Amino acid sequence: MDSLNLERYQFVFVGGILGEMLKLNFVASYFEDSKNILKDLGAQETYIFQPNSLFTAEENSQEFVSYLNQLYKSNQKKIVLICHSKGCLEALASLVRYPAIMDRIVQKVFCVQPPFKGSALTEFYSQTYKIGSKLWPGLRSLGRDSVQAMLKEIPAAQKKMIEHKMIIVKGAKPEKIAWILKVSHKKLAKRGVVSDGLLSLDDQELEGYNLSQLTIPMDHSDLFTSKVITRASMQFKTQVLSDLMLLI
């Protein structure tokens, strides 16, 4: 795997909602396996950025871009973002709000299981979502129309930049779902929705953008959480991350 030349870049994993809890060792050790895999593949600088789950993607974007800019100044290496779930929205908001900086310092943005169209689950819990999003601003980013509102009136050159840098990695899995996702996965399956336990395949599309994308048989927890939650093996995680690194 030396031919990947990962030492040329620095890698930042960007966490989804409630990542503050998932990062705890006794919960899920969020991204720790993934960091170790990238180091084994040759990466020298790997980091984790956890956006504040209480805030919207737009609210978190300024802090996020400031963090990335400081990393770039310190190491003078372009950054590869590996974003999960709502963390993909922070990346998108940053590309929209700070295009010049992001274009200069970011090499590639992998959006793994992004809720670009919200979540099909909000249809089941619509009232709970409406109430919860008033009390918890971070949930507003998971609304069905929040991304389209963010993307209004994007200049053609900026849209092209986003299309060049971003790769969508969808997830869907019919069985062998992590225990934490079984109830939601069952609800979606009863409606005939193919999902990763939280998001349908359609939820993971960025409407109106011509993006490179691939679909992997995994649930929403498989790639980035530990065996406390996921049923995915280290071999599976290594293979997926190795394949993604070839796309940089």
Q: pLDDT by residue (tens digit) across 157-193?
A: 999 999 999 999 999 998 889 999 999 999 899 989 9
Q: How far apart are CA 46 and CA 12, in angstroms?
A: 6
The pLDDT of 204-208, averaged and rounded, is 95
Percent of the chain residues past pLDDT 70, beyond the cut: 94
Instruction: Domain of residue 150: give its range.
Output: 2-245
Phi, psi of 225 (to 5 degrees): -110, 165
* Average pLDDT value for the chain: 92
**DSSP classification of residue 202:** G
* Structure tokens given for 75: 């190491």
Domains held by the chain: number: 1
pTM for the model stands at 0.94
Q: How far apart are CA 186 and CA 24, in angstroms?
A: 27
Dihedral class, residue 169 (left if φ above 0, else alpha if ψ from -120 to 50, else beta): beta
> pLDDT of 35-79, one tens digit each?
999 999 999 999 999 999 999 999 999 999 999 999 999 999 999
Q: How far apart are CA 34 and CA 37, in angstroms?
A: 5
Residue 201's CATH number: 3.40.50.1820
Are 88 and 51 in contact by the 8 Å Cβ rule? The answer is no
* Structure tokens given for 79: 């950054």
Q: Is the pLDDT of residue 99 over 80?
A: yes
> pLDDT of 122-148, one tens digit each?
766 666 666 667 767 777 777 778 898
3 state SS of 197: coil
Q: Is the pLDDT of residue 1 over 50?
A: no
Q: How far apart are CA 116 and CA 209, in angstroms?
A: 11
Q: Burial letters for 202-224: b for 16+ Cβ neighbours within 10 Å, e otherwise?
A: ebbbbeebebeeeebebbbbbbb
Pairing, β 212-217 against β 106-112? unpaired
Instruction: Give the distance from CA 156 to its chain's centroid.
Output: 24
